[in-house]
Amino acid sequence: MATPLKNWLEVQMSQCPWACAALLFIGGITLTRFVLKTLTVISQTFVFSGRNLKKFGANKGSWAVVTGASDGIGREFAIQLAKAGFNVMLVARNKTMLESVAADISTNSASVETKIHLIDLGKKDQAAYDALRTEFADMDIGVLVNNAGKSHDIPTYFVDAPEQEVEDILSVNINALVRVTQAVLPGMTKRKRGLILNLGSFAGMIPSPMLATYSGTKSFVDTFTSALAEEVRAHGIVVQHLNTYFVVSKMSNIRRTSVFVPSPAAYVRSALSKITFSGGAAHTDRPDTLTPYWSHALLDYAVHIVGWKAGFVSYTHRLHKDIRRRALRKLERLAKKE
């Protein structure tokens, strides 16, 4: 240690020993917490595996219910849960696409059963939800994946957003998630086991201008999941919010994978391998949130270390303005070709 600094420290210690000791203690605690949380994020993301799916009924005749199972992440959850040994119920409104998923499952996982349940989750149809609850009543459901979701067609200021689009986002992202969970939970509580995965988004963590309704619904998913998870923990039920960045899908309008944009298959593999962990959310005060994919986890970690939410909100606003400009130009080109 340089002599001037050493001398300065000795003087300070002699003049205010208690204050200096307190500052050193607080600094040591802060550094220790940072190191431990960093190691937790790294170990959960790259080293350890989460709870085995057999705990929730895999290979024991139990069912996995997947909403929005016709395409993208939902389709992959259905396929991979079938490979893990669950019978699978596919829930969505497109019969043709669900039959295609069911055929893929039968080809690759011949030992499991599949069912299709058609329902338009964008409609608040009491009779449709009553029928779903009735069908669930006699099923041993070990896993529910609330994957169905809807966003804006393109980034749009709330004042200009079509009323029907806003209503559909609220219906699918909030009402459907709550109602389907209500239908499944009594059976899980009775059997004293179950896994509920609620698909979330970074837009619920960082308020996203020009996607205000979608962002708000995903924030609801985060809070609802944490509250419900605490309620049912004593019944052996795990409820987790999957904090998700971009994934190749129709919703994201991204068609190519990259470091931060995995394929649905890669994303789902990471999610199912990290059950009960937190991943990139391990260092934050977000109970029962999991950021499973490795690059998303590191990004989540970096965002919370920086901690400048206002800056991220402003960046997201600029990003969405640029996306909207490009989307409108594309629509203009397509209109000219017609």
Q: Across 22-68, where does the E strand assignment appear?
A: 63-67
Helices and strands per DSSP (H, E), number in the chain: 12, 7
Within 10 A of 16 (CB to CB), how many other CB atoms are there? 12
Full strand arrangement of the beta sheet holding 237-242 = 114-118, 87-92, 63-67, 141-146, 194-199, 237-242, 289-290
Closest CA to 151 of 125, 126, 180, 122: 122
Spatial CA neighbour of 64 closest among 4, 111, 112: 112
Helix ranges restricted to H, 138-200: 163-170, 177-191
* Active site members: 214, 218
Distance CA 121, CA 141 (A): 20
Q: Residue 246 contacts by C-beta under 8 Å, 6 or more apart in sequence? A: 252, 254, 260, 261
